[in-house]
Amino acid sequence: MAGRRQIAALRLINSIRQHELDAIGAELAGLRAQQSALTDQSAALTQRAIDEQAGSTLETQPYLPGYLSSVDRQQRGLAAEGDALNGQIGTLEDALFEQFRALKTTQTVLSKAQSGAKADADRAEQAALDDASRALFALQRRSL
Whether the CB-CB separation of 95 and 20 falls below 8 Å is answered with no
Per-residue pLDDT reduced to its tens digit, 11-63: 999 999 999 999 999 999 999 999 999 999 999 999 999 998 888 888 888 88
Pairwise CA distance, residues 33 & 39, whole Å:
10
Alpha-carbon span 40 to 104, nearest angstrom: 37
Give a yes or no: residue 133 inside a domain.
Answer: no
Give the Cα separation of 103 and 44 in Å (integer).
42
For residue 59, the tally of other CB atoms under 10 A from its CB is 7
Alpha-carbon distances, residue 111 vs 5, 6, 10, 123 (angstroms)? 14, 12, 9, 18
Coil, strand or helix: which one is 114?
A: helix
* pLDDT-derived band at 144, boundaries 50, 70, 90: low
In tens, the pLDDT along 109-132 reads 999 999 988 888 889 889 888 888
Asked if residue 138 belongs to a domain, the reply is no
Q: Are 3 and 117 in contact (CB under 8 A)?
A: yes
Contact 31, 84 (CB under 8 A): no
141 occurs within a structural domain: no
Give me the number of domains the chain comprises. 1
Asked, for residue 140, whether it belongs to a domain, the answer is no
Whether residue 143 lies inside any domain: the answer is: no
Task: Give the amino acid at 67.
Answer: Y
**Does 127 map to a domain?**
no
In a domain, 88, yes or no: yes
Domain that holds residue 18: 4-117
Q: Is residue 9 one of the residues assigned to a domain?
A: yes
* CA–CA separation, 13 and 11 (whole Å): 5
Q: What is the pLDDT of residue 20?
A: 96
